[in-house]
Amino acid sequence: MYEIVLSGPLTEFSDYNLNAFIAFAAGFPSKIIPRRLLRRHLYPPTEYDERGVVKFAPYGLRKIETILQDEFGEDKVATIFPEKLPEVINEKTKVVGLTLHDPLGLAYVSTTYSSLVGFGSVPITAMETKIFFDMLKKLKKRYGFKVIAGGVGAWQIADMNLQDEMMIDTIVIGDGEEIAADLFKKALKGEKLPRVVKAITKDMDKVPTIRRPVLYGAVEITRGCGKGCAFCAATMRKRYSFPMDKIMKEVEINARNGTKMIMLVTEDIFLYQSLPGFKPNREALEKLIKRIASTPGIEYVQVTHSSWPAVVYDPKALEVISPILYEKTFWEIRGKRYIGAIIGIESGSVRLMTKYMRGKAKPLSIEKWPEIVVEGVGIYNDNQWYPGGTIILGMPGETEDDALRTLELVDDLKDYMVVLIPLLFVPITGALLQNASRVSLKNLGEVYWEIIWKCWRHNMVKFAPEYERKVRAVVPFVLPYYLYYHGRYGVRALLGLSGLLKENGWKT
């Protein structure tokens, strides 16, 4: 049996039917849909064998598994499906390593949409984390193993002072590649472990190439960014493009093992081998995407993130990769295929962008940020991309005038195919603004409610007009509950909604 067992909550062990963007719904409130249905339809379990060993692991955990197997041997380390842990863990288990993506529901989507439509319930991710830890704590009391927790959301446990309650010995915040082997070695020897370890991988040769497949066929093509946005932790990592050979090895491992999709993990696809000044390297990008798309067995190639300034600066860079990505796209709406990616709009206020995100517009100037966003969306649409654009509400020091500039930008985007995703500001550990205050819906003025309603009205009109009548029918029944649960700021939301619905010809 395994001395080192790797696992995590159930929401981490699903490919969400290959729909990475629906995975965001795991940040939605837990009480709206019964868990039984969520488990069957939103996060169906990934495959695992009779020993509980998963076929496709979360990407970050697979990297750590590779390091630990190199260090301690393949027979000593395995990634186990969470619900199989009671059958796998026993007195031989010395360490359990966990990946936590959004354990307490404090990330952007969960914070925003659970407080907005939560009706008093915690996000789905937090519900699953609680169920997972209730089980793990019983096992730990019985067998006494050490628990080491990492992953992009591990900071939430330290922030909320829940480490002891969750019986976690060490929380790793940041990257695990350079510290995992030593940390697990100490744990195996029964030595005292540090409570919290903060680490950023500096030597990229320490990032291993996976040997087994991962969920979504994820393959990291770049790490870090360097544009310096104050709310973002990625900027603290040096910008780095992984070598083509390493990328292709991971693509092939996934393809050979039956993954239909390759998801290119990056903060911005145009950072791949980018030229000085954040200028896109269209030749390198085209070569990479062509090679990945022509790998036998790969039906879909998906990009996680992209950017506006790169395509405004060099529209040709988008033109050369779009036909290849269009051929391999997963996305379709009303019979029309399109390419998707998440791109940060952040704010329409040049003042705020200059204060916190001066580098975001590179290789162009931040002074023209709203124009760059509008022109960028147009260029993406011309190349069959319908991006998701995130907007941050309530950044520290944001004034009503800043919010009005964002509202203007939302208005300027009304004719474009872009999903507008308003999110509440979250001070993420590791970002420059990590000590700023969290923003609450209660503190948002009416202009913010108008932004939220306008964004979602836009999304419905552009992407799901067939649901408009159904939503109109449901709204009068939902609103009284909304007011009940949300009190005073529910009234504000109602006023904002009512004005907006009237303005758009809706009777309320």
CA-CA-CA-CA torsion sign (138, 139, 141, 142): positive
Closest to 124 in 3D by CA, of 51, 61, 31: 31
The encoded tokens of residue 204 equal: 């990229």
Part of the chain binding ligand SF4 (CB under 6 A), chosen from 83-91, 166-174, 223-231, 317-325:
223-231
How many chain residues bind ligand SF4 (CB under 6 A)? 10
Whole-angstrom distance, CA of residue 118 vs CA of residue 478 = 12
Complex with ligand SF4: residue 52 or 153, whichever CB lies closer: 153
- Apex CA 160: angle with CA 155 and CA 433, to 5°? 55
Residue 432 CB, shortest distance to ligand SF4, in Å, is 10
Q: Is 234 in the site for ligand SF4 (CB under 6 A)?
A: yes
Site string for ligand SF4, 345-374 (x = CB under 6 A): ---------------x--------------
Choice between 29 and 309, CB closer to ligand SF4: 309
* CB 177 to ligand SF4: min, Å: 19
Burial of residue 303 (number of CB atoms within 10 Å: 0-12, 13-18, 19+): buried
Phi-psi region of 144 (alpha: psi -120 to 50; beta: other; left: phi over 0): left
Beta carbon nearer to ligand SF4, 305 or 405 = 305
220 binds ligand SF4 (CB under 6 A): no
Tell me which stretch binds ligand SF4 (CB under 6 A): 4-12, 171-179, 220-228, 377-385: 220-228
Strand order in 170-174's β-sheet?
Answer: 77-79, 4-7, 95-99, 146-150, 170-174, 196-199
**Nearest distance from C-beta of residue 409 to ligand SF4, angstroms:** 17
**214 binding ligand SF4? (CB under 6 A):** no
Q: Which residues 321-350 are close enough to bind ligand SF4 by CB under 6 A?
A: 344
Please say which residue, 228 or 427, places its beta carbon nearer to ligand SF4.
Answer: 228
- Say if residues 493 and 482 touch (Cβ distance below 8 Å): yes
Strand ranges, E, within 394-470: 419-424
Q: Does 431 bind ligand SF4 (CB under 6 A)?
A: no
How far apart are the C-alpha atoms of 409 and 349, rounded to whole Å? 9
Query: By CB under 6 A, is residue 235 in contact with ligand SF4?
Result: yes
- Tell me: does residue 237 bind ligand SF4 (CB under 6 A): no
Which residues of the chain form contacts with ligand SF4 (CB under 6 A)? 225, 227-229, 232, 234-235, 267, 344, 360
